[in-house]
């Protein structure tokens, strides 16, 4: 991995910046890389607490052996856009993004490896190119990095709220306010570690919402993220008292639905190489449209 330090990371510790970029590596592992001279700043060995300056070149050689490897497989998904730096994909509902303990194959990453020969290596062999994720049963647009420089740029845009992501969701019942902002902290649930929950600690989570259309039993709502926490929209929808239709974790399952009706329909970012703004929009998937067809507008 290599990257040029930008103004956002100036005066930050080297180990802190590397931890934010190499999220599947432990802090101890990253410190060992730095201490052993495998992470260099302008070609020189430094300490883990070294404060970075804008314009410096950071290179990190990580040869950690990973027992579980992602294999190339044929997986069904749409590539919306592709160039030498990145790919924009339309992830279908039900597709897991990367291999994990419960799903070792048949993921988006397996499919990407089958179609793409070059993906960034920042997130290791299990998550090559993956800058951000969508839940298994959330459909829609994702951007994937094809090299480390693009990965660093896109990750920083998400962190600094330059990357804009908009979602459409069908919520149970009716919102009190037609638009608003939800600001909470989100942490692991104290009663179920597989779930997230609004908490008095954890990470800050900010979601904007706006009513699009009312139906007799539910509302179609647009969400835009200012932060990107795990299950953020689903947790905030529950906090509003109107969980996403079909969400069997934060609401209740619905017959004939395979999960929540939540779709990432719009994605905007600055291209890492051209520096031009790019915006992509995708229509609702068929399972979402078919459910809406059964509803009556108010």
- Catalytic residue set: 135
Cα distances (Å, whole numbers) of residue 262 to 39, 170, 220, 223, 245: 40, 7, 10, 10, 8
- Cβ-contact 282, 80 below 8 angstroms: yes
The structure tokens listed for 296 are 């009556």
- Cβ-contact 204, 235 below 8 angstroms: no
Cα–Cα distance measured from residue 237 to residue 155, given in angstroms and rounded to the nearest whole number: 25
The structure tokens listed for 58 are 């950071």
Burial label for 254, CB within 10 Å (0-12, 13-18, 19+), is middle
DSSP for residue 237 = H
- Cβ-contact 30, 46 below 8 angstroms: no
- Cβ-contact 280, 267 below 8 angstroms: yes
DSSP for residue 244 = B
The structure tokens listed for 107 are 């993921």
């Amino acid at each position: 991995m290599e990257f040029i330090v930008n103004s956002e990371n100036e005066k930050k510790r080297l180990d802190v910046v590397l931890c934010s970029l190499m999220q599947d590596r432990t802090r101890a592992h990253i410190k060992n890389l730095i201490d052993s001279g495998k992470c260099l700043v302008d070609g020189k060995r430094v300490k883990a607490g070294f404060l970075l300056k804008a314009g410096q070149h950071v290179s990190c050689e990580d040869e950690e052996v990973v027992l579980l490897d992602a294999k190339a497989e044929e997986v069904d998904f749409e590539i919306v856009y592709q160039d030498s730096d990145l790919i924009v994909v339309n992830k279908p509902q039900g597709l897991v993004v990367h291999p994990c303990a419960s799903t070792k194959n048949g993921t988006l990453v397996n499919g990407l490896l089958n179609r793409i020969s070059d993906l960034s290596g920042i997130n290791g062999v299990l998550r090559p190119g993956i800058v951000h994720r969508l839940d298994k049963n959330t459909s829609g647009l994702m951007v994937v990095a094809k090299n480390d420089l693009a990965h660093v740029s896109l990750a920083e845009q998400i962190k600094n709220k330059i990357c804009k992501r908009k979602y459409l969701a069908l919520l149970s019942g009716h919102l009190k306010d037609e638009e608003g902002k939800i600001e909470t902290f989100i942490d692991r649930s104290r009663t179920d570690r597989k779930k997230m929950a609004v908490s008095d600690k954890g990470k800050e989570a900010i979601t904007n919402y706006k009513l699009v259309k009312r139906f007799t039993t539910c509302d179609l709502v647009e969400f835009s993220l200012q932060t990107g926490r795990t299950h953020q929209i689903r947790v905030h929808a529950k906090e509003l008292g109107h969980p996403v239709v079909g969400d069997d974790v934060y609401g209740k399952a619905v017959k004939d639905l395979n999960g929540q009706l939540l779709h990432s329909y719009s994605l905007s970012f600055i291209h890492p190489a051209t520096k031009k703004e790019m915006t992509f929009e995708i229509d609702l998937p068929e399972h979402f449209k078919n459910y809406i067809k059964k509803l009556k507008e108010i």
